[in-house]
Amino acid sequence: MKLRDISSNESNSCLLVIDVQNDFCPGGALAVMHGDQVVQPINKLIGSFSNVVFTQDWHPASHSSFASSHKGKPPFSSVKMPYGDQTLWPDHCIQNSPGAAFHPELNTAPAQTIIRKGYRHEIDSYSAFFENDGNTPTGLEGWLATKQIKNIYLAGLATDYCVAYSALDAARLGFTVTVILSACRAIDLDGSLARQLAKMKNAGIILVEKFT
């Protein structure tokens, strides 16, 4: 089957654009290499979908996922939280800060809803569906269900964190999931990109370079 045979502009498909925010782009607090290069491909993709949802990493100051909240712990080290291991990050995407804003060239107008995540002090949320305890819902599943959406296409930042966690949760929930890799960029911490790509493949997620 050719990829173009999958009709993305059908009402049962949704493009999920993950965390295309200033702090994940060059010059930002948690810059992903070439993170800004996803903007133009995503703007193009948006035109092919009749349903578009954005996510926004949205932390309070002193969030528990920030290394600065853990004395003696450097960024990119890890701590045990009640819900499991948590990587510690530089302070990023603080609510209402310029770093938390979407990239200025991202076409956000078509967004039907914007899911904010990581807004509770004690818990991080990589996935657009569940917080990092794997259990607390963001509400996105219900939104998609009431719209009768079955197919999810993902693009954004970062491939190996918020995109992968969202894709894996979507697959677990029974959606047909496609990740458009040319519209994603990765953090790649200690081999995380290869690990997460393998995990996604194993979960039956369709990984494509391009969407045409």
Could you say which of 23, 57, 91, 131 contacts Zn ion (CB under 5 A)?
57
Non-local (6+) Cβ contacts of 112 within 8 A are: 51, 52, 53
State the Cα–Cα distance between residues 104 and 186, nearest whole angstrom: 20
Active site (annotated) includes residue 71: no
162 binds, among Zn ion, ligand VGL, none (CB under 5 to 8 A by kind): ligand VGL
Asked about 117 being catalytic, the answer comes back as yes
Q: Tell me if 86 sits within 8 A of 78, measured CB to CB.
A: yes
CB of 16 to ligand VGL, least distance (A): 12
Distance in Å, CB of 67 to ligand VGL, minimum: 11
Contact letters (x/-) for ligand VGL, 138-177, by CB under 6 A?
-------------------xx--xx---------------
36, 162, 169, 184: which one is catalytic? Answer: 162
Active-site choice (19, 36, 57, 91): 19
Tokens of 201: 């493949």
Clarify whether 147 is annotated catalytic: no
74 C-beta neighbours (distance < 10 Å), count: 9
> How far apart are alpha carbons 192 and 189 in whole angstroms?
5
- Which residues in 3-62 contact ligand VGL (CB under 6 A)? 19, 24, 57
| Binders of ligand VGL in range 63-92 (CB under 6 A) | 89
Q: What is the DSSP string of 130-185?
A: B-TTS-SB-SHHHHHHHTT--EEEEEEE-IIIIIHHHHHHHHHTT-EEEEEEEEEE
Q: What separation in angstroms does the CA of 183 have from each of 59, 96, 100?
A: 24, 25, 20
For residue 157, the partner it binds in ligand VGL, Zn ion, none, with Cβ less than 5 to 8 A by kind, is ligand VGL
Give me the residues that bind ligand VGL (CB under 6 A), please.
19, 24, 57, 89, 126, 157-158, 161-162
The residues that are catalytic are 19, 117, 162
